[in-house]
């Protein structure tokens, strides 16, 4: 049943289950079978049952799954509910965009924004003042920051990552086009390589 070692492909499907279950819940649907879910989410019913059974038997034969319970279970599996402290490094457009996203509602509290650009320092986004980057390390230690959103330019990325590792930040959400080198025992890196994503589009467009 539970945690033997879940594969990355399964883990990456969990947020999608979570999203769809929330939708169902908001529509007032409180019961769903793997077959019905498969029709709206686009995975096979078999895969849904197998995915969920990695974490426990949440369903019931002849009935299906209780939407509210399953939503809550997957939320727990995903570590939601717990509050995480986050900082944004690089407060340009992307950094500001991320600050304005509604990640708080999922438990990701923004506690600091940092930049090297004098023109940005002092500006407030959602009540958070952009501070000079040399305050980053100190603040991370004080606040016990869990996740850093890395939105600097390519050149600074690895240096900032090194600093983050040193001051105990446990995860880096990496928006730079760099593959960061960090010790894998202590630090998680989740890449959002926009250019890679765009080039994938280009691949499919090219010969039509």
Contact residues for DNA, defined by CB under 7 A: 1, 7-10, 32-35, 43-47, 49-50, 52-53, 57-65
Q: Does 204 bind a second copy (CB under 8 A)?
A: yes
Give the pair of three-digit tokens for residue 94: 């992307």
Closest CA to 48 of 79, 1, 16: 16
- Sorted by sequence, the CB contacts under 8 Å of residue 9 that are 6+ apart come out as none
119 binding partner (options a second copy, DNA, none; Cβ < 5 to 8 Å by kind): none
| Residue 115: Cβ-neighbour burial (10 angstroms; 0-12, 13-18, 19+) | buried
Q: Which residue has the tokens 């004098």?
A: 118
Which residues, listed in sequence order, are joined to residue 147 by a DSSP beta bridge? 86, 171
| Residue 60: Cβ-neighbour burial (10 angstroms; 0-12, 13-18, 19+) | exposed
Closest CA to 65 of 96, 35, 107: 35
Nearer to a second copy, 57 or 81 (CB): 81
Residue from 64, 92, 132, 168 binding a second copy (CB under 8 A): 92
97 binding partner (options a second copy, DNA, none; Cβ < 5 to 8 Å by kind): a second copy
B/e letters for 166-197, b = 16+ CB within 10 Å, e = fewer, are ebebebbbbbbebebebeeeebeeebeeeeee
At closest approach, how far in Å is the CB of 22 from a second copy?
A: 10
Q: Does 14 bind a second copy (CB under 8 A)?
A: yes
- Interface stretch with a second copy, choices 44-52, 104-112, 113-121, 158-166 (CB under 8 A): 104-112
Nearer to a second copy, 136 or 169 (CB): 169
60 binding partner (options DNA, a second copy, none; Cβ < 5 to 8 Å by kind): DNA
Residue from 2, 29, 97, 141 binding a second copy (CB under 8 A): 97
Q: Does 85 bind a second copy (CB under 8 A)?
A: no
At closest approach, how far in Å is the CB of 74 from DNA?
A: 13
Nearer to DNA, 17 or 43 (CB): 43
Nearer to a second copy, 98 or 136 (CB): 98
Q: Which segments of the chain are extended strands (E)? A: 31-32, 59-60, 64-66, 84-89, 108-115, 124-125, 128-132, 147-150, 171-174, 188-191
Q: Which residues bind a second copy (CB under 8 A)?
A: 11-12, 14-16, 18-19, 42, 77-80, 82, 84, 92-94, 96-101, 103, 106-108, 146-147, 170-171, 173, 177, 179, 188, 190, 192-208
């Amino acid at each position: 049943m539970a945690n033997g070692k879940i594969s990355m492909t399964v883990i990456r499907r969990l947020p999608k289950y979570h999203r769809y279950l929330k939708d169902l819940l908001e529509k007032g649907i409180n019961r769903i079978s793997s077959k019905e879910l498969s029709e709206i989410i686009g995975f096979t019913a078999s895969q849904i049952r197998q995915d969920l059974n990695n974490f426990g038997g949440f369903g019931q034969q002849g009935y299906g799954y209780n939407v509210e319970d399953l939503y809550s279970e997957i939320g727990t599996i995903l570590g939601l509910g717990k509050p995480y402290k986050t900082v944004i490094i690089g407060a340009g457009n992307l950094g500001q965009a991320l600050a304005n996203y509604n990640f708080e509602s999922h438990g990701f509290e923004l506690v600091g924004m940092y930049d090297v650009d004098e023109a940005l320092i002092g500006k407030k986004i959602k009540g958070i003042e952009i501070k000079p980057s040399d305050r980053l390390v100190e603040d991370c230690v004080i606040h016990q920051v869990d996740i850093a959103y890395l939105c600097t330019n390519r050149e600074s990325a690895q240096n900032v990552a090194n600093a983050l590792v040193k001051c105990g930040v446990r995860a880096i959400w990496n928006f730079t086009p760099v593959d960061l080198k960090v010790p894998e025992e202590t630090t998680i890196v989740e890449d959002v390589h926009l250019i890679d994503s765009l080039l994938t589009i280009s691949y499919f467009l090219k010969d039509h």
